[in-house]
Amino acid sequence: MLKTSLTNQNLNKHQEDLLAFSLGMMSGEDGTELIEKYKEAIEKVTPFDMVMLEDTQFRMGIGVTEIKKTINKVINVFFKSLKSFQWESPKEGTFLYFLMLENRAFEFKLNKVKQILKSYKGTEELELRDLKKELLNHFIEFKQFESHYVKKENVLSPCIEKKRDDYRPLKVMWSLHDDIRKKINLLIGLLTSEKSTWQIINKEIGSYYFLVFGMIQKEELVLYPIASKTFSEDELNDMHIQSFEYGFPFIETPVKPDIEMKEKQRSFNYNKGLIQTENSEITVEQALLLFNHLPVDITFVDENDTVKFFSNPKNRLFPRSPAIIGRKVQNCHPPESVHVVEEIIKAFKNGDRDMAQFWLELNNRFILIQYFAVRNNENKYYGVLEVSQDVTEIKNLKGERRLLEWE
């Protein structure tokens, strides 16, 4: 059934062969026979071909889950060709350079834990207890690599979406990020538990290593070569500046470039005039200061589901970068949860609901997240306002305070 859709795609012979190979792998056909049949195309595959494959599969209606089932097998078959693809390695001190440097530092730490695992003989219960404690410290440290994935999701991905039509494979990468997040949380739980066995721990560590080393491979064989040939030096420098919002896991924080964001604001379309209404007479600068000093994070998505504004308070709960401006809100969320976003927006647009809210605990703080439908006086829908607030202290208030008391 998958192959009948091929005629609807505008592909050349090389691309058709690669797509037929990958669909054959999905359908469970004999891998050896497929490799032999499409050998010529496989030997000439490029990172752009890899993205074309996944993007075409999305256009054919194949979902993230199905693509993930065979993606590692397909990349392993393509490995030699992808590895030989000619691209200029990132210059020292650039955005892609630091992403790759983070990978090297992470690999070093992962390999150190490998040596610990090899030395374990698995004979004494006391020895296993000590091993759990040692491994727990390492895997808690590994969670710091989260900022690497968030930089890809919030800085690199939105830039790719704006410059390339074949951006849909980014959904697969985000979903794999979430698989890594779930796996490390599972491992930390197992290493904390007294009842977990070595067999289960060893199995889940193996799964985690498969995911994270596979992610490094996908980044450096496909994502970074494409990014290097898609963006100008200035665009990559801008991404590097934005990346300081998220940090640099396992490497020394680099010196921030001389071209600070404040200096770049000179080129912004910055209206110094007044915003005059029946209840306001303030400048644009004052309005921005007002937003940034509210004790909440604000993000506005317009009636076309496009991110148009976010506030920048001193202690933002959830990182945001300028790259998300102009991004479709559906692309700001992992594939597995985007249906919730779409459900809220649909209810707002239809006039069925005006507000949705969630609350959660994050780093021992109680966070309230609310979504409000934005409408004018004629009830015309203009978008969604997301408001996130740390309500830990508010939640704990008791009694009254009517007099001024400085803390």
Mean pLDDT of 100-106: 98
Sequence-distant (6+) residues with CB within 8 A of 403 are none
Question: Is the model's pLDDT at 255 over the cut of 80?
Answer: yes
Sequence-distant (6+) residues with CB within 8 A of 314 are 292
The Cα 183–Cα 187 span in angstroms is 6
pLDDT of residue 406: 84
Sequence-distant (6+) residues with CB within 8 A of 364 are none
Is 269-395 in CATH node 3.30.450.20? yes
The Cα 332–Cα 338 span in angstroms is 8
pLDDT of residue 259: 62
pLDDT of residue 70: 95
Please state at what angle helix 47-59 crosses helix 64-83, rounded to 10 degrees: 160
User: What do you get for the CA distance between the two ends of the chain, in Å?
Assistant: 68
Mean pLDDT of 254-283: 70
The Cα 219–Cα 383 span in angstroms is 35
Question: Is the model's pLDDT at 157 over the cut of 60?
Answer: yes
The Cα 291–Cα 313 span in angstroms is 8
pLDDT of residue 1: 35
Tell which phi-psi region holds residue 160, choosing left (phi > 0), alpha (psi between -120 and 50) or beta: alpha
Of 1-15, 42-56, 91-105, 238-252, least confident by mean pLDDT is 1-15
The Cα 273–Cα 314 span in angstroms is 26
What is the Cβ-side half-sphere exposure of residue 159, based on CA atoms within 13 angstroms?
26
The rounded percent of the chain whose pLDDT value lies above 90 is 81
pLDDT of residue 285: 87
Could you read off the pLDDT of 160-190 as tens digits, one per residue?
999 999 999 999 999 999 999 999 999 999 9
pLDDT of residue 405: 85
The rounded percent of the chain whose pLDDT value lies above 70 is 93
Query: Sign of dihedral through CA atoms 155, 174, 211, 60?
Result: negative
pLDDT of residue 47: 98
HEC assignment per residue over the chain:
CCHHHHHHCCCCHHHHHHHHHHHHHHCCCCHHHHHHHCHHHHCCCCHHHHHHHHHHHHHCCCCHHHHHHHHHHHHHHHHHHHHCCCCCCCCCCCHHHHHHHHHHHHHHHHHHHHHHHHHCCCCCHHHHHHHHHHHHHHHHHHHHHHHHHHHHHHHHHHHHHHHCCCCCCHHHHHHHHHHHHHHHHHHHHHHHCCCCCHHHHHHHHHHHHHHHHHHHHHHHHHHHHHHHHHCCHHHHHHHHHHHCCCCCCCCCCCCCCCCCHHHHHHHCCCCCCEEEECCEEEEHHHHHHHHHHCCCEEEEEECCCEEEEECCCCCCCCCCCHHHCCCEHHHHCCCCCHHHHHHHHHHHHCCCCCEEEEEEEECCEEEEEEEEEEECCCCCEEEEEEEEEECHHHHCCCCCCCCCCCC
Question: Is the model's pLDDT at 139 over the cut of 90?
Answer: yes
Question: Is the model's pLDDT at 7 over the cut of 80?
Answer: no
pLDDT of residue 262: 47
Per-chain mean pLDDT for the chain: 92
Distances (CA, A) of 286 to 293, 297, 298: 11, 17, 16
pLDDT of residue 13: 95
Could you read off the pLDDT of 276-305 as tens digits, one per residue?
888 888 988 899 999 999 999 999 999 999
Is 95-243 in CATH node 1.20.120.520? yes
Q: Beta partners for 362?
A: 365
Question: Is the model's pLDDT at 6 over the cut of 50?
Answer: no
Could you read off the pLDDT of 200-222 as tens digits, one per residue?
999 999 999 999 999 999 999 99
The Cα 370–Cα 388 span in angstroms is 6
